[in-house]
């Protein structure tokens, strides 16, 4: 049965490696007739969370920017895919800011139960992704019934477009998308 998939690409860089892998994931997911929407944070207006917790009562954030539209799409998705570059051994700041702002989901009837991570880092060891995985798992622990289904650890990628020379990462992303 086809699933509704939201892929959130958090890199702001042109030809970002994580974004390229997100596109490969999407190709695989579409091959299985899934409904896939990619949300790029490029050009989005996303402010920092104020910690007011009004979202818990309202079911949406009081800040008027791009986040409430993203929350509505994520809420209706079966699958959520995060694609991020790794900075200082954790997710990008824009990914973390969006996660903080998605606090409204906590009290809503969200549908997503499957989470995937696509992360790329300049450092070569797979341990470069560990902080991102740990932080994602902490965020996920706030949502009952949610499970990490897979993670791509694209390490050793220092320049834009570099992942295109790594067929193993491209194929891994495609196959992960196809497995959804």
Helix/strand/coil (H/E/C) assignment for every residue in the chain = CCCEEEEEECCCCCCCHHHHHHHHHHHHHHHCCCEEEEEECCCCCCCCCCCCCHHHHHCCCCCCCCHHHHHHHHHCCCEEEEEEEEECCEECHHHHHHHHHHHHHHHCCCCCCEEEEEEECCCCCHHHHHHHHHHHHHHHCCCCCCEEEEEEEECCCCCCCHHHHCHHHHHHHHHHHHCC
pTM: 0.97
> What percent of the chain is modeled with pLDDT above 70?
100
What is the overall mean pLDDT for the chain? Answer: 97
pLDDT at 16 over 90: yes
Q: How far apart are the first and last CA of the chain?
A: 10
| pLDDT at residue 107, rounded to an integer | 86
φ, ψ for residue 51 (rounded to 5)? 70, 20
Read off the tokens for 117: 């991570």
Domain boundaries, the chain: 4-178
pLDDT digit string (tens) for 53-79?
Answer: 999 999 999 999 999 999 999 999 999
Contact predicate 180/173, CB 8 Å:
no
Given this structure, which CATH class describes domain 4-178? Answer: alpha beta
Name the band, by pLDDT with cuts 50, 70 and 90, for residue 115: very high
């Amino acid at each position: 049965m086809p699933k509704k998939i939201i892929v959130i690409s958090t890199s702001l860089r042109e030809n970002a490696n994580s974004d390229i892998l997100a596109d490969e994931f999407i190709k695989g997911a579409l091959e299985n007739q899934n409904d896939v929407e990619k949300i790029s944070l490029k050009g989005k207006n996303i402010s920092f969370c104020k910690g007011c917790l009004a979202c818990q009562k309202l079911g949406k954030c009081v800040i008027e920017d791009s986040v409430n539209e993203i929350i509505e799409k994520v809420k209706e998705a079966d699958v959520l895919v995060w694609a991020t570059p790794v900075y200082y051994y954790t997710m990008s700041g824009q990914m973390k800011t969006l996660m903080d702002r998605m606090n409204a989901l906590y009290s809503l009837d969200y549908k997503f139960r499957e989470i995937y991570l696509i992360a790329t880092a300049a450092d070569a060891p797979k341990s470069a992704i560990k902080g991102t995985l740990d932080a994602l798992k902490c965020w996920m622990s706030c949502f009952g019934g949610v499970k990490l289904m897979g993670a791509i650890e694209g390490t050793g990628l220092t320049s834009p477009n570099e992942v295109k020379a790594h067929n193993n990462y491209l194929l891994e992303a495609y196959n992960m998308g196809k497995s959804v």
